[in-house]
Every structure is written in structure tokens, then in C-alpha cells.
Amino acid sequence: MKKMIVLIMMIGLWSTPSLAAGTQYNLRVDGLSCPFCAYGIEKKLKRSKGVETVKIDLEKGMVVVQVKEGISFTKAHFKKLVDDAGFTLKSMTEAAP
């Protein structure tokens, strides 16, 4: 029985990537009115070392950035990248791993 519980716990740890993932940043970006233009944000954000994925929701003006474990960014960093892409960072929240 003990062995079974340990095995289930190990499988659980392996199969839960959120436990091993880094911070998720939720950026509210203004000015996102077309998908072709939004590509600039994806391009700029993915140039930052440690960024794993970038998801964009145009209707909600949301850019979700998933970074590697142990990597963190400041709001000022994202503000500059979003501005360089030609848009305006309205707010930022982060979900710790």
C-alpha cells in the first residue's frame, strides 16, 4: 500500500507541469486591433531570454507570457518591449508558480 501511495505521488509530481513552471505574466495591452500587427509583440517578447510562450487575445487585449522557472521580469521591462512593438502596456499582473 505504501509503495502504491509513493508511486501515485511521483506520477502526480511528474504530470503537473505547473509545479515546475516559472511565473506567468498577464499583460493588458492597449492598441491591439489586428493580428498581423500583434506579431511585433510576440517577436519582441520572445527575444527576451527565458520567455517560453506568448499567447495573445486581441478581444480582451491580453498578452500572457509564460517564463522559465527562476526567471523574472519587471513591469518596466515589459513596458519597453510593448512600446517598441508599437503598443501601450496598460497593466500587469503575475501569477507565481
Helices (H) and strands (E) in the chain, counts: 4, 4
Shortest Cβ 34–other proteins spacing (Å) = 6
Structural contact between residues 22 and 66, judged by C-beta atoms closer than 8 angstroms: yes
CA dist 58 and 60 (Å) reads 6
Using the rule CB under 8 A, is 88 a contact of other proteins?
Answer: yes
Pick between residue 38 and residue 67 the one whose CB is nearest to other proteins.
38
Q: In the window 44-83, what residues touch other proteins (CB under 8 A)?
A: 44, 55-59, 61, 83
Residue type at 90 in one-letter notation: K
Binding site for other proteins (CB under 8 A): 30-41, 43-44, 55-59, 61, 83-88
